[in-house]
Amino acid sequence: MIKPVEIKDFMIGPGNPCFIIAEAGVNHNGDMKLAHKLIDATAKAGVDAVKFQSFVTEDIVTPEAQKARYQVETTGQNGGQFAMLKSLELSKDQQKELKTHCDEAGILYLCTPYEERSADLLEAIGVSAYKIASTDTTNIPFLRYLARKDIPVILSTGMSSLGDVEEAVNELKIHGLNGGIIILQCTSEYPAPVNEINLRAMRTMALAFGCPVGFSDHTPGIGASPWAVAAGACIVEKHFTLDRNMEGPDHRASIEPNELKELVRTIRDVEAALGDGIKRPMPSELPNKTRMQKSLVTTRTLAVGETIKEADLTCKRPGSGLPPKWFDRVVGRKTAKEIQKGKMLELNSVNWSH
């Protein structure tokens, strides 16, 4: 039994609506006006939360670190990771300003800390949950630091084996975070190949760790996130931008405002289509049931008291008479009245006393 995780006013886990996060990340390009526009757009789209990133560049990357392949493709060769990230930093006051805007817009503010100073900053401004990026799934000292704060975490697992995830979950639990862990299946490529997203890994991790699971989606378009919901995702995270053609490392693998709205609508449609799992006639079917299903019908005229034989019966629409599943009950009994050829059998057509 997987127990839901509470993040502010949301219960995240099986049996609850999918929690949808718009990953603004660093798509603000260091521009607060753009960051506020991202919040407004996500609120209009109907997502549950918008997530940013918090980091002190000096604490997470060396000056010599080279850009990842996708970062070179999206931002060019000039400069390494240090210069690129430094231009995307947000201060404590800026993060607080964004959280206030989210509160006013009725959308949950979330953020990914990449090191301890940022974790402290986010705790101070009242973040409801930490998102742990795939870059830190194996960062045991940092996991221990976060766990001691007893704030729920959403653990992304890109580039990790099941053993890596097990170590991360164990460290979080041992150091104080038991019951506040959500695990995301993730493929850390931008965009991620559809044949490598491995949605079935969500079920594997749910069974292995007893935590709610979800999907951090780096594929193009919106298609994979609704598939993930159909496969059991309790939470979906999707990169979001105002314009995919903007300069920056993550815009290319992000969706735009109209796509974000479509994503939310499609996920809610998928949830509605999944239903409750109880097999029964649905309300829209009931008017068709008697018209489309079949009844037992006579193949010849039967006199009163005549024994009904197999050859005397066939099955035809409508379904308002005795159903075909009563065939064996009827055969061998006597008629209670005369039944004309081609007429449906009803309860009073059969003598049930013998």
**pLDDT score recorded for residue 250:** 83
Model confidence pLDDT, tens digit, residues 105-114: 999 999 999 9
Q: Encode burial over 41-67: b for 16+ CB neighbours within 10 A, e otherwise.
A: bbbebbbbbbbbbbbbbeebbeeeeeb
pTM for the predicted model, two decimal places? 0.90
| Contact predicate 197/184, CB 8 Å | no
pLDDT for residue 79 is more than 90: no
pLDDT for residue 70 is more than 80: no
Q: Does 3.20.20.70 match the CATH number of domain 15-274?
A: yes
The residue with greater pLDDT, 132 or 190, is: 132
Q: Which uninterrupted H or E stretch holds 291?
A: helix 286-292
Q: State the average pLDDT for the chain.
A: 95
Name which CATH class applies to 286-351. alpha beta
Model confidence pLDDT, tens digit, residues 312-332: 999 999 999 999 999 999 999
Q: Domain boundaries in the chain?
A: 15-274, 286-351
Model confidence pLDDT, tens digit, residues 237-285: 999 999 999 988 888 889 999 999 999 999 999 999 999 999 999 999 9
Residue 217's pLDDT band (cuts 50, 70, 90): very high
Ramachandran area for residue 328 (φ above 0: left; ψ -120 to 50: alpha; else beta): alpha
pLDDT for residue 215 is more than 90: yes
pLDDT for residue 188 is more than 70: yes
**pLDDT score recorded for residue 81:** 84
pLDDT for residue 77 is more than 70: no
Give the pair of three-digit tokens for residue 52: 């940013």
d(CA 313, CA 317): 13
Give the pair of three-digit tokens for residue 205: 């991790």
**pLDDT score recorded for residue 66:** 84
Place of tokens 């979950």: 169
- Percentage of residues of the chain with pLDDT beyond 70: 98
d(CA 40, CA 46): 10
Residue 25's pLDDT band (cuts 50, 70, 90): very high
The residue with greater pLDDT, 81 or 56, is: 56
Model confidence pLDDT, tens digit, residues 123-136: 999 999 999 999 99
Q: What is the mean pLDDT of residues 286-295?
A: 96
Please, how many CA atoms are within 13 Å of residue 196, restricted to the half-sphere of its CB? 13
**pLDDT score recorded for residue 190:** 86
pLDDT for residue 21 is more than 90: yes
**pLDDT score recorded for residue 65:** 83
Residue 178's pLDDT band (cuts 50, 70, 90): confident
